[in-house]
Amino acid sequence: MTAAEHHPALPAGLRDRVLAATLRVRAVGRPEPAAPEISPAQAFSRAADAFYGMLGILQAADWRRPALRELDVQGLVGHLTGVEEDVHRGLQGDPDVAQVSHVGSTQAAADRQSGRPPAQTRAEWRRAVDGTLALVHADRDPGDEVAMHGMRLPLGMLLVVRAFELWIHDNDIRHAVGLPPSVPDPSTLSLMTQAAAQLLPHAAARSGLREPASVHLVLTGPGGGTWDIPIGQSPAAPDPNAIVIVTDALGFCRLVANRATPGSLDLHITGDPDCAAMVLAAASTLALD
Amino acid sequence: MLATCSPVDDLIPGPSGIRSDTDALLAARLAAGDHAALTEVFDRLAPAVYGVALRVLGRHATAQDIVQDVFVELWSHPGRYDPGAGSLRGYLTMQARHRAVDLVRSEVRRAARQERSSRLEPRQPDPAPHERVMASEAAAAVRAAIETLPESQRRIVELAYFRGLTCREAATAAGIPEGTAKSRLRLALARLGTVLDRQLLESS
């Protein structure tokens, strides 16, 4: 016996009526429950506090452990101090910082940590972060564009990218010294996923994805949401032929940070698998090391 | 590993986590604000939800309202569905049954109140045929539940609801004090609610 024999046919118009009614109570894309909203500056501040707290529990030997590229933990913290110094320059409109390399420009700050007491490195980084926050809070418009390290981003977006970077390097250090990984709070994670979704078309274009396509991105769990993302010249609207990518928000953020591969994620994809693979590969190019 | 092109029911899973349970994946998508997931759920399960509501109520218009209420509730509060507790189909049809039975129950009470008050008012025109059908279907649903009550409680419910007596008149007819009649009526209504709820749970 088929389902049709069990159940009466739906009256004409009921489907449209019900789906329209649902949209009146909750907007498309909005997660439920929604994380409390915070500002990009708050997200950066929280990520910085978490990073500072993590540094505070490291043992002396931990600071010498290899962490990322050729940097040990202390050198990585120095790299982040260098990034903050470049952010200061960017916020003050220094054009020289606009096109410098993220790694090359901060190498001197990483190198100068060698032989220093870890507490000095930690304190120097904290002062640099506080300097960033002071500049941000000095009547800055979150929409003001800041150019640094080959990016030109609104200040709000830059701060979320920086929160992202701090969280990722927090976990690089945790991994290096054997601490369990950390997870951003849902409010911060929500800003990160929004930023990743917003930047995905640029990453796709930079990766050579020129053919118009629509991506229906569904990020599940805390900090998640749903976005219809145009790739190439595709309009930003729901598309019945869109590539549907469903995965969890945290895993996607790790992918965007180039700390996870598509194969390591819980991925559910509908649509052109080759195009989906290229979009995911493009997402991982958003990472800043 | 990347999954391939497929409808949601046949999604090829990733290596771990929510992959093995389509309902869990749909629930996660609904929580993420994926309206396409709601559309999928509607297309798959709305006929069952509508069928349940129609069987209890016997009226197409009210059954459609129940369908709308159930899906608006799912979209508003997707977290109230727990994939670990059962299937999405079972959850939605139970929601429909709860709402439909509640509607029947309130209609029977309203009908009983109207019947009692009508004895004090001039006679109204006879109800239309479809209204008589509605009333009889609703009454039948509750009548079946009343049959499960203890004799002492069933007697007082029949006197108060089906013969339209006041509580005092029902007490006199039953040969018990009015306070006892009220107490039995309260117990009977509470038990009636429980019985109806259990019936719908079992049929789900």
A152 CB neighbour count, 10 Å cutoff: 12
The C-alpha atoms of residue B22 and residue B149 are separated, in whole angstroms, by 41
In sign, the C-alpha dihedral spanning B102, B104, B109, B114 is positive
**How does residue B143 score in pLDDT terms, banded at 50, 70 and 90?**
low
**Reduced 3-state DSSP string for chain B:** CCCCCCCHHHCCCCCCHHHHCHHHHHHHHHHCCCHHHHHHHHHHHHHHHHHHHHHHHCCHHHHHHHHHHHHHHHHHCHHHCCHHHCCHHHHHHHHHHHHHHHHHHHHHHHHHHHHHHHCCCCCCCCCCHHHHHHHHHHHHHHHHHHCCCCHHHHHHHHHHHHCCCCHHHHHHHHCCCHHHHHHHHHHHHHHHHHHHHHHHHHHC
The share of chain B scoring above pLDDT 70, in percent, equals 67
Q: What pLDDT, on a 0 to 100 scale, did the predictor assign at position B139?
A: 58
CATH code of the domain made up of B19-125: 1.10.1740.10
Between CA A23 and CA B76 the distance in angstroms is: 9
Name, in order, each residue with C-beta under 8 angstroms of A13's C-beta and a sequence gap of 6 or more: none
Query: What mean pLDDT, rounded, does chain B reach?
Result: 76
Q: Using CB atoms and an 8 Å cut-off, which of residues 125-184 of chain A contact chain B?
A: none
B-chain CB neighbours of A25 within 8 Å are: 72, 75-76
Q: Is pLDDT at B191 greater than 80 in this prediction?
A: no
Quickly tell me which residue has 């910082």 as its tokens.
A97
Give me the pLDDT at residue B104, please.
Answer: 84
Q: What is the pLDDT of residue B100?
A: 92
pLDDT score for B3: 30
Q: Predicted ipTM?
A: 0.88
Inter-residue contact A228 to A239 (CB < 8 Å): yes
pLDDT at B156: 81
Q: Which domains does chain A have, with CATH numbers?
A: 40-182 (1.20.120.450), 188-286 (3.30.1050)
Question: Smallest Cα–Cα separation from A187: which of A28, A29, A44, A26?
Answer: A44
Could you give the CA distance from residue A142 to residue A138 in angstroms, rounded to a whole number?
Answer: 11
pLDDT for position A41: 94
For A220, the closest of B32, B35, B79 (CB atoms) is B32
Contact B48 A15 (CB under 8 A): no
State the 10-residue block means of pLDDT for chain A, 289 residues long: 64 95 96 94 96 95 92 95 93 88 87 92 96 85 85 91 94 95 96 94 85 91 94 71 92 92 92 90 82
| pLDDT reported for residue B1 | 28
Contact A41, A136 (CB under 8 A): yes
pLDDT digits (tens, 9 = 90+) for A153-206: 999 999 999 999 999 999 999 999 999 999 999 999 999 999 999 999 988 888
pLDDT for A173: 97
Contact list in A for residue B17 (CB cut-off 8 A) is 248, 266
Range 228-247 of A in CB contact (< 8 A) with B:
238, 244, 246-247
A261 touches B at CB < 8 Å: no
The pLDDT of residue B18 is above 50: no
Residue A21: per-residue pLDDT: 97
Assign B195 a pLDDT band (cuts: 50, 70, 90).
Answer: low
- Rounded to 5 degrees, φ, ψ at A268 are -130, 115
Residue ranges, comma separated, of all CATH 1.10.1740.10 domains in chain B are 19-125
Provide CATH 1.10.10.10 ranges for chain B. Answer: 147-204
Size of interface A-B (CB pairs under 8 A): 153
Third-level CATH fold of B147-204: Arc Repressor Mutant, subunit A (1.10.10)
Pairwise CA distance, residues A39 & A24, whole Å: 27
Residue A241, pLDDT score: 78
Stated pTM of the model: 0.76
pLDDT, residue B166, reads 76
Residues A250-271 pLDDT 10s:
999 999 998 999 999 999 999 9
Tell me what pLDDT residue A5 has: 47
Distance between CA B127 and CA A64 in Å, rounded? 89
Which residues touch B62 (CB under 8 Å, ≥6 apart)? B53, B100, B103
Taking the C-alpha atoms of residue A76 and residue A29, their distance in angstroms, rounded to an integer, is: 37
In angstroms, how far is the first alpha carbon of chain B from the final one? 38
Mutate to test the interface with A, among B1, B34, B67 (most CBs of A within 10 A): B34
Contacts of A265 (CB under 8 A, 6+ apart): A247, A248, A251, A252, A255, B14
